[in-house]
């Protein structure tokens, strides 16, 4: 395609017939609603995001509501969505918007990128979706579409390929119908130019697709070079007091499950028992079935051990990072998904 005009025209014509225009964040569209949806949609599919977005908006309809909320409540509404740094950044940025922008979502690229958790592509999506201004986006769906359209070989995460894709995305972005265009190019990637079994016969760009011409659609984009994921095993203590309450500890703000509540964690059973002995508690715990959980950079095996106390312990006291919770309170705090399931299965 010699210019952005034929591409945008064909894409928008397809979008008018086949695009998604009933998504919840497309209703009562505002900078805040678009921003929250874009953060939730990072590495998460639309179908998964929709109920989370609706619950989040019901509780935090305006940026000021989010800024004034306790982080625990924000994380509780994020539980199960994963990548919890997104929720922490969303909360921190809401506070910044309230304090630095009088509660009004910025509408320029530099101010948006200055906020935690907003990168160049997310900022472009907000600008185009919320303010109908030219905003360049390059999410995973768009990268896949462009690499196939131009038969670009090599992992898109490489800097020189990323630079090439940004230039292509910029050149293709039109000056009109920007909200529709950005939704259209994401929709085409998500619903037609899919990672597996793409619907090439339904693609409005099929006559221009170089990967299709070269019978290379299945090989493009080039996958990230695989590394064997390291494995880690930890022991956790499911400690119940005489009232049936469970001891939980809040994890550090940075790192895996940052800021979420979890069970006390130990390197192994011996370390767990040593701490119990130090606290003057019985060390004969009941092993529970191991839990497997895969992160992007390692595989985790959680070995839970149950200890039910017959009387209230003396030394296991509450503080800011360690508290007793009963089952009715668990929905009010942010919990790591494997831990939440473990607690639900052992109430």
Residues marked as catalytic: 38
Nearest to 281 by CA among 249, 250, 305: 305
Q: Are 307 and 276 in contact (CB under 8 A)?
A: yes
Distance in angstroms (rounded) separating the CA atoms of residues 41 and 37: 6
Distance in angstroms (rounded) separating the CA atoms of residues 252 and 234: 17
Nearest to 185 by CA among 193, 197, 176: 193
Nearest to 347 by CA among 262, 242, 244: 244
Residue 105 CB burial class (10 angstroms; 0-12, 13-18, ≥19) = buried
User: To which residue do tokens 């089952």 refer?
Assistant: 327
Both tokens of residue 255? 């790192």
Q: Are 106 and 127 in contact (CB under 8 A)?
A: no
Both tokens of residue 89? 């950044």
Q: Are 306 and 289 in contact (CB under 8 A)?
A: no
Angle, CA of 244, 300 and 266, to the nearest 5°: 50
Distance in angstroms (rounded) separating the CA atoms of residues 336 and 118: 23
Classified as helix, coil or strand, 249 is: strand
- CA trace torsion 256, 262, 264, 270 (10° rounding): -60
Distance in angstroms (rounded) separating the CA atoms of residues 317 and 109: 48
Q: Are 305 and 272 in contact (CB under 8 A)?
A: yes
């Amino acid at each position: 395609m010699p210019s952005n005009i034929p591409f945008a025209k064909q894409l928008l014509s397809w979008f008018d017939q086949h695009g998604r225009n009933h998504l919840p964040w497309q209703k009562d569209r505002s900078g805040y609603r678009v921003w929250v949806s874009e953060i939730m949609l990072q590495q998460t599919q639309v179908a998964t995001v929709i109920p989370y977005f609706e619950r989040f908006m019901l509780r935090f309809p305006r940026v000021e509501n989010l800024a004034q909320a306790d982080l625990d409540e924000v994380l509780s509404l994020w539980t199960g969505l994963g990548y919890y740094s997104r929720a922490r950044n969303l909360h921190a940025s809401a506070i910044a918007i309230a304090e630095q922008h009088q509660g009004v979502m910025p509408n320029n690229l530099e101010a948006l990128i200055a906020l935690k958790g907003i990168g160049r592509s997310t900022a472009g999506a907000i600008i185009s979706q919320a303010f109908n201004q030219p905003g360049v986006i390059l999410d995973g769906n768009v990268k896949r579409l462009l690499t196939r359209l131009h038969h670009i070989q090599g992992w898109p995460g490489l800097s020189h390929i990323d630079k090439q894709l940004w230039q292509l995305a910029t050149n293709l972005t039109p000056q009109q119908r920007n909200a529709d265009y950005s939704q259209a190019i994401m929709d085409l990637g998500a619903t037609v130019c899919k990672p597996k079994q793409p619907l090439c016969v339904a693609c409005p760009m099929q006559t221009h697709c170089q990967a299709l011409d070269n019978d290379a659609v299945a090989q493009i984009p080039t996958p990230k070079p695989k590394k064997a994921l390291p494995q880690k095993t930890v022991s956790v203590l499911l400690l119940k007091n005489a009232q049936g309450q469970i001891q939980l500890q809040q994890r550090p703000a940075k790192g895996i499950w940052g800021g979420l509540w979890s069970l006390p964690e130990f390197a192994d059973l011996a370390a767990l028992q040593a701490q119990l002995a130090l606290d003057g508690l019985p060390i004969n715990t009941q092993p529970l079935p191991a839990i497997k959980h895969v992160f992007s950079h390692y595989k985790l095996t959680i070995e839970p051990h149950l200890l039910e106390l017959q009387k209230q312990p003396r030394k296991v006291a509450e503080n800011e990072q360690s508290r007793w919770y009963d089952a009715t309170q668990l929905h009010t705090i942010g919990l790591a998904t494997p831990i939440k399931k473990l607690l639900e299965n052992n109430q």
